[in-house]
Structure 1
Amino acid sequence: MEYVIGILVGAVIGYITNWLAIKMLFRPYEEKRIFGVKIPFTPGLIPKERKRIARSVGEAIGAHLLTKETILDSLCSDKIKDALSGWVKGEVTKLENSNSTLEDNAKLLLSDHYEEIRQDLEKNITTLVIEEIKGEEFKQVVTSMVSKEVKELLNNSPKALLSSQGYEKIKLNLLNSLDESVKAGTVKENILSLISGKLDSIKENTLEEIIPPTVIGNLKVYMYNKRHDIGKYIQSMLREEKYEIKIKGIIGNVVSSQLNPMIAMFVNPDTIYNKVVDGASEMLETEETLVDVVLILNEILTKITKTKVIDILENIPASEGVSIGEKLYELLLNNLKEYDVIQKVIEALEKNLEENETLGEILAKVGLNVEEDIAKFLESKLNKLFESPELEAGLNKFLSSGLQRFLSTEMKFIFQKEGRDLSLKVSAIALSIYTTFIENKASDFIELFNISKVVEEKINEFEVTYAEEIILEIASKELNAITWLGAVLGAVMGILSPILSSFY
């Protein structure tokens, strides 16, 4: 009986002692006082040393458990990469089959900030574009591109240009336009107006001033070379019936007015006419007479060239003046129709152009520097455009419309493309970005994260009751085992006491 009582008493004492020790780890939660005197072992060990314990646990976890290397290794694990890749593929697949627009997804992502961000984006893009195109670099690029194209064009052979379909079309349109203008009377009006204007401007000039001297000189040389033909013409003219009648009438008037009537009765005008014509014809056969005739004609021509245009026009009735313009027009029109003057002019120009190797060579001959002129023209036009207040408004409207069309595009049309697995490409890009971030920046973020401090702060935030529940939940079996171990040890000690006393 003595041994049984010793075992029971020792077991109870050991059990109660360990149970009380475990309870005193957490309780009481707060300091207790009796009559203002602090009761020993209050509060419990864990509540009392909570800050120190939290700091020690945080340091232990940060230094030995969740180290930077451990976290980096975990973030770089195949499991994480596979999960990221699978998530990205799934999201891309959803977008490939989605009827939602880019704008719909942007609104979901940006929420209430969508309109503000969209407006800022439009404004920034417009400002950027305007700044770029106003810069000297843009002007130089445009000018360089146009100059290059012009240079390549000028290096072409005129034959290539003349044989092109574009040139043939232009030539055909020109001829058709001329024909239509002639039929419509537009050309006639312009020509008559031109003739009238020219006549008004040269009224005070003499014929000598408006007719080139070479023309008058050539005309005199022509008359001298044709003196024999002129003599024959005069001979034939004297024997024409109308001139014969006029000459005989003149002879009859002279005879009747200048001679005695008795003598005049014996003078026959026909006989005198025949004698005069025969004598004149005989004289016109001599070189000396022909030269004299030419000299007389030259003097008459010289006197005519000294006449003012206004003196000639004043002696022409208004109706005949109009008919002169009409006749000149008809002459020109007949030449256009019968001799194809325009066609011949074009052919002559084409032949002249074909004699040159390049178009640039043709322009150089007439003193034109096309490249330089185009560069100056473009620069002036671009400067004028950039100074225009409508430029920014126009660009803003254009960019706003383009951005809206882009935002209104359905996601499936953006992501879908036959023969392309976009999900694989996007996931590969995402993994590449993720890996680059982990390798280059993740360690900096982990250091900023300060795991030790986070754990310490989190533990300090716990209520003591909650910390007790966590520890008991984790180590309830072990704590129970310790409690019962105390009972066992107490029982052992209880049986050892009577055994040892029996030896004395």
Structure 2
Amino acid sequence: MENIMDILYLLAGPLIGSIIGYSTNYLAVKMLFRPLRPIKIGTFRLPFTPGIIPKRKDQLARALGSAVGNNLLTSDDIEKILLDETLKDLIVSRLAAFLCAEEEHTLKTMLTEYCTEESYLRGKAHLEKVIGDKIITGIAQLDLGEIIATESKRVIKQKIEGTMLAFIANEKMIDSLTAPLGAMLETYIKENGKDVIRPIIKLEIAKLENQPIGKILTDIGMEKNLVPNLVDKIYTQFVGTKATEFIKALDIAGVVEQKINAM
């Protein structure tokens, strides 16, 4: 009996110490994560509530977001992923097949898949205006009125050469006819050019937007077997120059921070 008591006496210390150690460790770990919210009795908040990690969740989320966004997944990493041969070949082949499909996808259907109808129409109207303005500006820079006056004068002189009119219609008389003609034409273009040109532009854009993309490429002389190479070059250049902007737009650090805060 005494031997048993001696054994129990020897085991009691380590056993009790183990139980106390386990309990305190369990409690300490538990207090790191629980409770999630402060516990109040009236206006008094119980100490150590919420737990250390929930209490500092904002700081933890910010730190983890920064670590992931700035160190674990950098713009170089994104670029390597997007330029991986397997992924790049898959993307390029899919895009090339999409562009070369002559029946399925028109320019309009492709664009409206990635933007609203309202945005598409607004962009289309803006394009019509820009093209019209460019044409009018180009015509103005040509000094079309002067060109018309000069060419009209040349044609008139050529037509009346060797006739009786050549003796009557001298240089001054011809200038009096052609100069106003050029000026009138120039004024008309300035005042009405956009109204005349815009319906034509609108009609041509309408024709273009309803054509299959493959047909558009064919019409401009792009052979289908060259499309994958073109897409590959554009894709590689885009990723190489826009990877940094892409990673900034993704804001991975912000996304991670939001996800942790939402937990």
Instruction: Answer yes or no: same fold by TM over 0.5.
Output: yes
Describe the shift of the 1:34–1:398 C-alpha distance in structure 2 as closer, same or farther (beyond 3 A): closer
Shift of 1:386: 3.4
Shift of 1:126: 3.3
* Aligned-partner Cα distance in 2 for 1:50–1:434: 40
* Aligned-partner Cα distance in 1 for 2:211–2:179: 38
SS of the aligned residue for 1:90 comes to: helix
Which amino acid in 2 is paired with 1:429?
L
Higher RCO (CA < 8 A, seq sep 6+):
1
SS of the aligned residue for 2:49 comes to: coil
1:56 and 2:63 are equivalent in the alignment: yes
The one of 25, 30, 33 equivalent to 1:26 is 33
Which amino acid in 2 is paired with 1:19?
Y
Describe the shift of the 1:36–1:9 C-alpha distance in structure 2 as closer, same or farther (beyond 3 A): same
Shift of 1:69: 3.5
Contact 2:69 2:253 in 1 (8 A): yes
Shift of 1:88: 1.0
Matches within 5 A, 1:304-315: none
Shift of 1:5: 5.9
Shift of 1:130: 3.2
Contact 1:126 1:392 in 2 (8 A): yes
Describe the shift of the 1:135–1:55 C-alpha distance in structure 2 as closer, same or farther (beyond 3 A): closer
Aligned to 1:130: 136
Describe the shift of the 1:79–1:410 C-alpha distance in structure 2 as closer, same or farther (beyond 3 A): closer
The one of 205, 208, 211 equivalent to 1:406 is 208
* Aligned-partner Cα distance in 2 for 1:428–1:382: 49
Shift of 1:65: 1.9
Aligned to 1:42: 49
Aligned to 1:112: 118
Which amino acid in 1 is paired with 2:65?
G
Aligned to 1:97: 103
1:422 and 2:187 are equivalent in the alignment: no
Describe the shift of the 1:371–1:396 C-alpha distance in structure 2 as closer, same or farther (beyond 3 A): farther
* Aligned-partner Cα distance in 1 for 2:241–2:119: 31
Shift of 1:111: 0.8
* Aligned-partner Cα distance in 1 for 2:16–2:78: 53
The one of 380, 383, 400 equivalent to 2:183 is 383
Shift of 1:373: 9.8
Describe the shift of the 1:30–1:399 C-alpha distance in structure 2 as closer, same or farther (beyond 3 A): closer
* Aligned-partner Cα distance in 1 for 2:143–2:244: 43
Aligned to 2:237: 436
Shift of 1:129: 2.5
Which amino acid in 1 is paired with 2:135?
V
Contact 1:58 1:455 in 2 (8 A): yes
Which amino acid in 2 is paired with 1:71?
I
Describe the shift of the 1:78–1:23 C-alpha distance in structure 2 as closer, same or farther (beyond 3 A): same
* Aligned-partner Cα distance in 2 for 1:431–1:31: 56
Matches within 5 A, 1:26-425: 26-33=33-40, 38-93=45-100, 95-98=101-104, 101-108=106-113, 109-138=115-144, 380-388=180-188, 392-416=194-218, 421-422=223-224, 424-425=226-227
SS of the aligned residue for 1:96 comes to: coil
Which amino acid in 1 is paired with 2:187?
E
Shift of 1:85: 1.0
1:254-292 CA-partner distances (Å, limit 9, x unpaired): xxxxxxxxxxxxxxxxxxxxxxxxxxxxxxxxxxxxxxx
1:347-389 CA-partner distances (Å, limit 9, x unpaired): xxxxxxxxxxxxxx989xx789999999997665443333347
1:7-28 CA-partner distances (Å, limit 9, x unpaired): 7656554544443333222111
Which amino acid in 1 is paired with 2:38?
E
* Aligned-partner Cα distance in 1 for 2:16–2:41: 31
- Structure 2: runs of 5+ lacking an equivalent: none
Shift of 1:124: 4.1
Count of equivalent residues: 245
1:278-314 CA-partner distances (Å, limit 9, x unpaired): xxxxxxxxxxxxxxxxxxxxxxxxxxxxxxxxxxxxx
Which amino acid in 1 is paired with 2:50?
P
Describe the shift of the 1:402–1:52 C-alpha distance in structure 2 as closer, same or farther (beyond 3 A): closer
Which is higher, the Rg of structure 1 or of structure 2? Answer: 1
Shift of 1:420: 6.1
Which amino acid in 1 is paired with 2:63?
S
Aligned to 1:165: none
SS of the aligned residue for 1:97 comes to: coil
* Aligned-partner Cα distance in 1 for 2:81–2:170: 70
SS of the aligned residue for 2:68 comes to: helix
Q: TM-score, normalised by structure 1?
A: 0.38
What's the % identity of the aligned pairs? 28
